[in-house]
Homo-oligomer: A and B are copies of this chain.
Amino acid sequence: MTTTAATPAPGVRGATSEAAARVPHVVIVGAGFGGLRVARALARAPVAVTVVDQHNYHCFLPLLYQVATAGLEPQDIAYPIRAILRRYRNVAFRMARVARADLAGRTLITERGERIGYDHLVVAAGSVTHDFGNPGVAAHAFGLHDIDDARAIRNHVLRLLERAEAMADGPERAALLTLVVVGGGPTGVELAGALAEFRRHVVPRDYRHVRADDLRVLLLEGTDRILGALPERLRQAALSDLAALGVDVRLGTLVGTLDAGAVTLADGARLATHTVIWAAGVKGPPLAAALGLPPGRGGRIAVGATLAVAGHPEVQAIGDVALVAGAEQLPQVAQVAMQQGEHAARNVVRALAGEPPLPFAYRDKGTMATIGRSRAVCHLRGLDLRGRLAWWAWLVVHIVMLIGFRNRLVVLVNWAWNYVTYDRGVRAIVGAGDGRGAP
> Do B410 and A406 have beta carbons less than 8 Å apart?
no
A165 contact set on B, CB distance < 8 A = 8
Chain B residue at smallest Cβ distance from A165: B8
Chain B residue at smallest Cβ distance from A205: B86
> Do A9 and B168 have beta carbons less than 8 Å apart?
yes
Closest beta carbon of chain B to A333's beta carbon, Å? 23
Among A3, A55, A82, A151, chain B packs the most CB atoms within 10 A around the CB of A82
Q: How far is the CA of A37 from the CA of B373 in the complex (A)?
A: 36
Known: A73-B75, A158-B56, A209-B14. A427 touches B83 (CB 8 A): yes
Q: List residues 28-87 of chain A with CB under 8 A from any CB of chain B.
A: 55-57, 73-75, 78-80, 82-83, 86
A207 contact set on B, CB distance < 8 A = 82
A95 contact set on B, CB distance < 8 A = 159, 162
> Do A429 and B209 have beta carbons less than 8 Å apart?
no
A353 on interface, CB distance cutoff 8 Å: no
A431 on interface, CB distance cutoff 8 Å: yes
> Do A432 and B148 have beta carbons less than 8 Å apart?
yes
> Do A428 and B80 have beta carbons less than 8 Å apart?
yes
Known: A55-B428, A413-B410, A413-B413. A208 touches B92 (CB 8 A): yes
A94 contact set on B, CB distance < 8 A = 166
Q: Which of B9, B12, B74, B429 contacts A56 (CB 8 A)?
A: B429
Known: A427-B80, A429-B55. A13 touches B169 (CB 8 A): yes
Closest beta carbon of chain B to A147's beta carbon, Å? 5
Q: How far is the CA of A211 from the CA of B83 in the complex (A)?
A: 17
A15 contact set on B, CB distance < 8 A = 209
Give 1 or 0 for each of A205-234: 1 = CB within 8 Å of chain B CB. 111110100000000000000000000000
Q: How far is the CA of A386 from the CA of B206 in the complex (A)?
A: 43
> Do B430 and A74 have beta carbons less than 8 Å apart?
yes
Give 1 or 0 for each of A393-432: 1 = CB within 8 Å of chain B CB. 0000000000010110110011001000001011111111
Among A1, A8, A151, chain B packs the most CB atoms within 10 A around the CB of A8
A384 on interface, CB distance cutoff 8 Å: no
> Do B168 and A83 have beta carbons less than 8 Å apart?
no
Closest beta carbon of chain B to A171's beta carbon, Å? 13
> Do A12 and B169 have beta carbons less than 8 Å apart?
yes
A105 on interface, CB distance cutoff 8 Å: no
A352 on interface, CB distance cutoff 8 Å: no
Give 1 or 0 for each of A158-176: 1 = CB within 8 Å of chain B CB. 1100100111111000000
Give 1 or 0 for each of A90-108: 1 = CB within 8 Å of chain B CB. 0010111000000000000
Name 28 interchain pairs, CB-CB below 8 A, sorted by A. A1-B168, A3-B166, A8-B209, A10-B168, A12-B167, A12-B169, A12-B209, A13-B209, A13-B211, A14-B208, A55-B428, A56-B428, A74-B430, A75-B428, A75-B430, A80-B428, A82-B206, A83-B206, A96-B166, A148-B430, A148-B432, A151-B431, A404-B425, A407-B425, A409-B413, A409-B417, A410-B410, A410-B413
